[in-house]
Structure 1
């Protein structure tokens, strides 16, 4: 995966374009979310389940964006920094720095580990 492809993937995330997003992910992808009962958060396995999770996030927070992206490449790994911004249904807002660790196989993302700074939600606008 190239930097141009990764930027295109984030553009697709920010457009909430699931058809474009799924082209970057391996069929056997494992996604470790930012929160959950285990040390790794919640683990979602398989392309269909991961795409459903992305769509659920977009449905819950329709303005969600990952902005200010910076990406670092090391062999089959990518470190991606961004700022997560979104409004919850109750109007409270997220605005926190985040990191995704991606592992590649055959040029596609086989593992996505998401990390985000914990900070209080911002008041509604």
Structure 2
């Protein structure tokens, strides 16, 4: 896996293209989401469950987007930095910087740990 591969992964995230996203993940991968009941966030295990989680974000936030992403890979570790934005169904928005820490095996992601700044939602602007 290379930094260019990670750029392609995030391009697939931005297209909401689950098949291309999951092509980068091993079948036995683990995803630690940014929020959840555990110290590591919500732990999601297995490619199918992770695909469902990613698709759920795109359903809840139809404009979910990772911008300004940059990546580096060193051995079996990789890091991606990005700015996430998206609009909830109630019109509130989030715009926050974050990063992913990846563990790699045989050119695939086996663990994705997501971290994102915790900031207040942006209230929708009134339309006149």
> What band does the TM-score fall into relative to the shorter chain?
over 0.9
Q: Does 1:32 align with 2:32?
A: yes
* Residue 78 of structure 2: aligned partner: 78
Q: What are the ranges of 5 or more consecutive residues in structure 2 without an aligned counterpart?
A: none
Distance 2:99 2:91 in 1: 24
The more displaced of 46-55 and 67-76 is 67-76
Structure 2 distance, partners of 1:124, 1:62, is: 16
- What residue number does 2:13 align with? 13
Query: How far 1:73 moved relative to its partner?
Result: 1.7
Residue 118 of structure 2 is matched in structure 1 by 118
Using the size of structure 1 for normalisation, the TM-score is: 0.97
1:33-67 CA distances to partner (integer Å, 9 max, x unpaired)? 00011100000000000000000000000000011
Contact residue 6 and residue 80 of structure 2 kept, 8 A: no
Structure 1 moving runs of 4+ over 4 Å = none
Mapped to 2, the partners of 1:69 and 1:19 lie a distance apart of 20
Q: Output the TM-score relative to the length of structure 2.
A: 0.95
Residue deviations 1:67-92 (CA, integer Å, cap 9, x gap): 10011222111111000100011100
Q: Which runs of 5+ in 1 are unaligned?
A: none
Task: Give the Cα separation in 2 of the matches to 1:2 and 1:39.
Answer: 29
